[in-house]
Structure 1
């Protein structure tokens, strides 16, 4: 009897796939955000400045999880953050995006606040959304995020963007989209609840900054 054997895509191709999805769905601008996959004691992470919708094998760097290396200089500036998350959690994949509504909600809630979703999917899948502080690519941010993601599947860095973890990039992508969806619903709900007039957004071109 013959058996079908599943052969996964090369890891960089998987990273490229989700990089395109993030850009196509407006969850990040092309040259911002970063993605990584864990492979044993090492991780593959996007290079600094790489356009996420144009990832090739040359745009992904393999570095050690336990120790820094000479390749860190060309890896994403958030490599130290990804490294610490892998050290302290069971995550096998991480996505960092700059989703607009998530950033806005973090600014409204404060650097050490939490966002409680008002939509049923957000309540079910996320529960609460923690907000953490720390400079971009700093050890402070690495520690704060690793601590938050040891208890939650996703978090928002104050004024910066989302981090989501999973066993696969597919898992992390779903959490990324849920974080942004819940923040969008909460933003629009809170504006409506205060009686503030909100014009109907034009599909995905809506910019929440016009309604602050």
Structure 2
């Protein structure tokens, strides 16, 4: 069932490990099938070096396991958080949760990451910063409920004393966004270290005013404009 989606989950989970966004089996990944509404999510307790698409669990949004092909495997204990993300954001079809170092350091401090660079717009941060979801013990409804409000104002959030979470239309997009979270966290850290104080930030009004340069003429109407 949903073999192609399961393979995507494995592919991007392995990519996240290679990018050092999550190590020692931490983090979890999921993708939603728009047709059935089912989600394919990483299992609990399987080393990503040994992860096969046969290990990926299929669930519905009622937290019911539809298929565990390998047998005996359970979905990640943080499945409720993934399900809540899909319920809160019906516009997205992928969720990535990682424990990258710089971002997690700010999550521990319960400190949001401001828009110190213009590229923060990639995360659709409506209030000009990457928010922090209040602490919830992993595997509990407290954790899953903690992301509801942050995802209303951003496609990515820090999880207090835990890690990071990002959503997207695809796993490729969600992984890109969570990679940016770590990059922005590192830039913010070095800016704080060098200046010894809060660095200047890009105003929200500026973040909302990006437009493709009108000086460039697109004669080929098939070209899509993007940053």
- Please tell me the TM-score bracket, short chain as reference: 0.7 to 0.9
The runs of at least 4 consecutive aligned structure 1 residues that moved more than 3 Å come to 67-73, 123-127
Paired residues of 1:78 and 1:137 also in contact (CA < 8 A): yes
Q: CA deviation at 1:122?
A: 2.2
Instruction: Give aligned pairs, total.
Output: 185
Aligned equivalent of 1:12, options 6, 13, 27: 6
Deviations 1:75-94 (A, max 9, x none): 00101111111112122000
Residues 14-33 of structure 1 mapped to structure 2, 5 A cutoff: 14-33=8-27
Q: CA deviation at 1:48?
A: 0.4
* TM-score, normalised via structure 1 length: 0.79
* TM-score, normalised via structure 2 length: 0.74
Establish whether residue 172 from structure 1 lines up as the match of residue 174 from structure 2. yes
Match of 2:108 in 1: 107
Which runs of no fewer than 5 residues in structure 2 stay unpaired?
Answer: 198-227
Q: CA deviation at 1:9?
A: 7.6
Q: CA deviation at 1:143?
A: 1.0
Match of 2:43 in 1: 47
Paired residues of 2:60 and 2:66 also in contact (CA < 8 A): no
Aligned equivalent of 2:151, options 149, 159, 166: 149
Q: Distance in 2 between matches of 1:153 and 1:15?
A: 19
Q: CA deviation at 1:71?
A: 6.8
Q: CA deviation at 1:179?
A: 0.5
Secondary structure at 1:74 match in 2: coil
Match of 1:121 in 2: 119
Paired residues of 1:106 and 1:159 also in contact (CA < 8 A): yes
Q: Distance in 1 between matches of 2:158 and 2:86?
A: 17
Paired residues of 2:58 and 2:66 also in contact (CA < 8 A): no
**CA RMSD after TM alignment:** 2.3
Greater share of residues in helix: 1
Establish whether residue 36 from structure 1 lines up as the match of residue 30 from structure 2. yes
Which runs of no fewer than 5 residues in structure 1 stay unpaired?
Answer: 1-7, 196-212
Select between 23-32 and 177-186 the one with higher mean Cα deviation.
Answer: 23-32
Secondary structure at 1:149 match in 2: helix
Deviations 1:26-75 (A, max 9, x none): 10004111000111321110000222344212320001113434879710
Alpha carbons of structure 1 residues 100 and 174: separation in structure 2 relative to 1, 3 Å: same
